[in-house]
Structure 1
Amino acid sequence: MTKFLVFFIATFFIALHSFAQETRINIRAKAKDAKFIGSSLGGAYVIVRDKVNGQILAEGKTEGSTGDTKLIMDQPLQRGESIATPETAKFQAVLNIDEPTFVEIEVLSPINHKTSQIRASTELWIIPGKHILNDGIVLEIPGLIIDVLKPRTHEYISLKSLTSQSLPIQANVVMMCGCSVESGGLWDADKIEIKAMVKHNGKRIDDVILKFASPNLFEGGIPVTETGNYEVIVYGYEEHTGNTGLDKVNYIIRD
């Protein structure tokens, strides 16, 4: 009787497993008003979860190129046409499911830049054996990646060393796909407001406009007249798309 029961249970699970079908889903992250997020930026991290029990069914990073610029940014898109080429960055989730499964697809990007990281997600039913390929599931990542280059975090700066009571500030600004920002370019630096909010000992004292200096680089000068603890909040704002970004740095001015 025991052997029969073991045989029955084993047969049941084998039969159950035999209904499972491999189901492939292409998942992509695309920067708002820009290109896809791929290997050059470290990828976007993708998690596919079963919505019923929270089990992770697949996870990994998007890999590949940012895509064809003309195809993505210039050509009118007709219904049913793809904007992804075979080289365009994606994560392909491979699920083995035996019945329709309601999933959440979550994307974190850029995975290697925590200050600028955005979480985007969607939900859908996955049907066994019914692949979602070509462009697949595309999640939009809004924003700008901003890095304050000068002054450095927790840098000690002598007040006497400053000329004209001004501290140079530099910020690097790129799209969420890593695409370059240039004056008059496809991603036009002249249409992006980059500004630094300056705090001294916790009190906001000034706002400074940073001007385009070279591809991705914006510069300005922070007024400094007193010693103390300073904080600079550099933000970016693109009115026509609504893209925003931010970075912060703290430094110390001493005698």
Structure 2
Amino acid sequence: MKLFGLCTLLILLISFNGMSQTNVMIRAKAKDAKFIGTSVGGAKIMVRNALTKEILAEGITFGSTGNTEKIMKQPKVRYQDLSENNTAGFLAKLDIKSPTFIEVEAYAPINKKQATVKTTTQLWVIPGKDIMGDGVVLEIPGFIIDILSPQTHERIPGGISTEIKVNVVMMCGCPVEEGGLWDASGFEIKAVVEAEGFFKEVALQQTEKSSTFSGNIDLNKGNYTITVYAFDPKTGNSGVDKTNIIIN
């Protein structure tokens, strides 16, 4: 019996050692939205040996955000992939010769540093056992927020109303707009304006342009910090951007 067990183990080891490349599809998906791909610069993916921290593969997710109907509207069926052939992902090609416990990191969206979130997971990968289809999906919570005006360190004359204008999208770049699939009327989008001895919140309203919101505030002379946030009470998604201005 012991001899049989040793022979089985030897066969397995020979089988593992004969395999060199194992494919693992890795995707980053925005919470309550679609996949993070080329349209927002993608997600940076790092695959490490969880024990030694050796980098086994790294790259950027590439492709589309996916099929809106399938991802956001149709009921999810067990074993049904949300992704399609052109849906954003990174194919990690791992050179492993034995079962390996890996750690997968996603930094997304990589081109928007004020919004970038790191999400990680761990799993065993077996040599020759590819993980394809949706593959390993890491959820990325939040909003991407860009303050369009006023500009950083802008000097603004006193006595005039200061407009605060921002762009707000989901982490996949999908539009936020009133009455849309990602309905701004259910979100809190506000600017918090602060200075020494001064604090005020300004509700931002949608402009004629999709995903663009603005509001006005009258400020006296001083140095101000403007923090803009978006919050979805239904999902807990939140995002922030900041800037500083000078009122002369």
Structure 1 residue 137 displacement after superposition = 0.3
Structure 1 residue 17 displacement after superposition = 9.9
CA distance in 2, matches of 1:204, 1:192: 25
Structure 1 residue 147 displacement after superposition = 0.6
Match of 2:182 among 187, 210, 217: 187
2:224–2:244 CA contact under 8 A, matched in 1 = yes
1:197–1:204 CA contact under 8 A, matched in 2 = no
Residue of structure 2 equivalent to 1:198: 193
CA distance in 2, matches of 1:74, 1:35: 11
Structure 1 residue 63 displacement after superposition = 0.1
CA distance in 2, matches of 1:45, 1:63: 10
CA distance in 2, matches of 1:131, 1:204: 58
Q: Trace 1:69-218 onto structure 2 (pairs within 5 A).
A: 69-160=68-159, 162=160, 166-201=161-196, 203-213=197-207, 214-218=209-213
The list of structure 1 runs, each at least 4 consecutive aligned residues, that deviate by more than 6 angstroms after superposition, is none
Residue of structure 1 equivalent to 2:221: 227
**Distance change (3 Å), C-alpha of 1:18 and 1:124:** closer
Residue of structure 2 equivalent to 1:241: 235
CA deviation map 1:169-201 (0-9, x unaligned): 101000000001111010111111101111123
Larger-Rg structure? 1
Letter of the 2:194 counterpart:
K
CA distance in 1, matches of 2:217, 2:140: 31
1:26–1:92 CA contact under 8 A, matched in 2 = yes
Q: Percent identity?
A: 50
CA distance in 1, matches of 2:158, 2:243: 18
CA deviation map 1:114-150 (0-9, x unaligned): 1101000000001000000000000000000001111
RMSD of the alignment, in Å?
A: 1.5
Residue of structure 2 equivalent to 1:3: none
Letter of the 1:198 counterpart:
V
Structure 1 residue 50 displacement after superposition = 0.4
CA deviation map 1:200-253 (0-9, x unaligned): 23x4421110111131001101231x2110110000001111110000010101
Residue of structure 2 equivalent to 1:250: 244
Q: Secondary structure at the match of 2:52?
A: coil
Residue of structure 2 equivalent to 1:7: none
Q: TM-score scaled to structure 1, two decimals?
A: 0.89
Q: TM-score scaled to structure 2, two decimals?
A: 0.91
Q: Secondary structure at the match of 2:69?
A: helix
User: How many residues are treated as equivalent by the alignment?
Assistant: 234
Q: Secondary structure at the match of 2:238?
A: strand
Structure 1 residue 96 displacement after superposition = 1.2
2:16–2:98 CA contact under 8 A, matched in 1 = no
Letter of the 2:238 counterpart:
T
CA distance in 1, matches of 2:241, 2:44: 21
CA distance in 1, matches of 2:140, 2:71: 15
Residue of structure 2 equivalent to 1:40: 39
1:44–1:62 CA contact under 8 A, matched in 2 = yes
1:120–1:141 CA contact under 8 A, matched in 2 = yes
